[in-house]
Amino acid sequence: MQSQPQILVVDDDREIRTLLGRYLDGQGFRVSVAADRRECEHRLATGQFDLIVLDVMLPDGSGLDICRALRDRKPHIPVILLTALKEDVDRIIGLELGADDYLGKPFNPRELTARIRAVLRRSAQDQTAPAMARIYRFAGYTMEPEIRRVANANDEAIDLTGAEFDLLQVFVDRPGRVLSRDQLLDLTQGREREPLDRSVDVLMSRLRRKLGEDAAEPLFKTVRNGGYQLTVRVETVDTPA
């Protein structure tokens, strides 16, 4: 991550663009703005960004479509979605498409800044090479956090988003522990859960599907009024990085 992270703000509301441009600049970020999808695509084609703040509703297309395309073309760029408070469906779809976080409108710029810093912190940690690289093995899967790779028993890579990988990392670090939704959200995104926040459940559903969980021999247990638990044995191997 650069000393001054480059942020792209995509929103059709001029006041929001101006406000965020000035505020984030004052917080030590370099900020570019775009008013619609066309301008966003131009910015992405001509610049390098550490994170994108992306409004779901744009005049010439959906921010969800941009998010989907980014996951295919630039999967390393984190995305924070901005959604109206009533657009719960869009939040869920955004998470399914690989968004790293979301924030409902109206929002406090300080809250958005905190979310940005948390996501960038995780991205920076992903790029920091430790002296020893830890490999996890569980139920025929191999997880290599050093290179952000998960593979099945046939050594076929499983395509996980950043949020899905972080969630799995929390479980393999704490096998057998029942982790509440609040704990999972705090450990993966560094924030408290909002009322009716379904983001953890959405991520769990996607993670289970991508890992091909067998209903007869589940990897995870859903604990009523408790949260989730990784039920299989986890082995770790430390190798020189």
Comparing 93-102, 127-136, 207-216, the range with the smallest average pLDDT is 127-136
The pLDDT, as a whole number, for residue 140 is 94
Q: 177 and 79: one domain?
A: no
From the list 82, 73, 61, 71, the residue with the least C-alpha distance to 8 is: 82
More confident residue, 19 or 89: 19
Residue 162: the pLDDT is 82
Domain membership flag for residue 1: no
Are both 33 and 108 inside the same structural domain? Answer: yes
- Mean pLDDT across the stretch 112-131? 74
Mean predicted confidence (pLDDT) in 12-36: 94
- Taking alpha carbons only, the member of 148, 99, 149, 113 closest to residue 127 is 148
What CATH code is carried by the domain that includes residue 33?
3.40.50.2300
Examine the domain organization and report whether 161 and 148 are in the same domain.
yes
User: What was the pLDDT predicted at 172?
Assistant: 94
CB atoms within 10 A of CB 188: 24
229 beta partners:
178, 221
Does residue 54 or residue 189 have the better pLDDT? 54
Picking from 105, 127, 149, the residue at the C-terminal end of a domain is 127
Structural domain ending residue among the three candidates 68, 96, 127 = 127
Query: How many structural domains compose the chain?
Result: 2
Say whether both 111 and 187 belong to one domain: no
Assign residue 188 the CATH number of its domain: 1.10.10.10
Residues 116, 167, single domain; the answer is no
Q: State whether 12 and 115 are in the same domain.
A: yes
Q: Quick one: 14 and 118 in the same domain?
A: yes
- 181 and 118 in a common domain: no
**Do 139 and 204 have their domain in common?**
yes
Please tell me which residue, 106 or 137, carries the higher pLDDT value.
137
The helix or strand, by DSSP H or E, that contains position 14, with its residue range, turns out to be: helix 14-26
For residue 193, give the 3-state DSSP assignment.
Answer: coil
115 within domain boundaries: yes
pLDDT in tens, 145-163: 888 899 999 999 999 888 8
Whether the full predicted model's pTM is greater than 0.85, yes or no, is no
Of 102, 127, 152, the residue at which a domain comes to its end is 127
159 with 181, same domain: the answer is yes
Higher pLDDT, 82 or 76: 82
Contact 36, 12 (CB under 8 A): yes
pLDDT score recorded for residue 122 = 75
- Who has greater pLDDT, 140 or 98? 140
Q: Residue 193: pLDDT band by 50, 70, 90 thresholds?
A: low
Letter for the amino acid at 199? S
Q: What's the whole-number mean pLDDT along residues 42-71?
A: 90
- Within-domain flag for 48: yes
Q: What's the rounded mean pLDDT across residues 99-128?
A: 82
Q: Is residue 185 part of a domain?
A: yes
Per-residue confidence (pLDDT) for residue 194, from 0 to 100: 63
Looking at every residue in the chain, the average pLDDT score rounds to: 85
Amino acid at 31: V
- Give residue 95's pLDDT: 73
Q: How far is CA 127 from CA 1, 6, 122, 146, in A?
A: 8, 17, 9, 8
Across the beta sheet with 235-240, what order do the strands follow?
Answer: 149-151, 141-144, 132-138, 235-240
Euclidean distance between CA atoms 53 and 41, whole angstroms: 14
> Do 118 and 10 share a domain, yes or no?
yes
Give residue 175's domain range: 132-240
Phi, psi of 41 (to 5 degrees): -60, -40
pLDDT of residue 1: 44
E strands of 124-192, at which residues? 132-138, 141-144, 149-151, 178-179
Per-residue pLDDT for 166 more than 50? yes
Give me the pLDDT at residue 103, please. Answer: 86
d(CA 70, CA 78): 9
Q: Are residues 103 and 142 in the same domain?
A: no
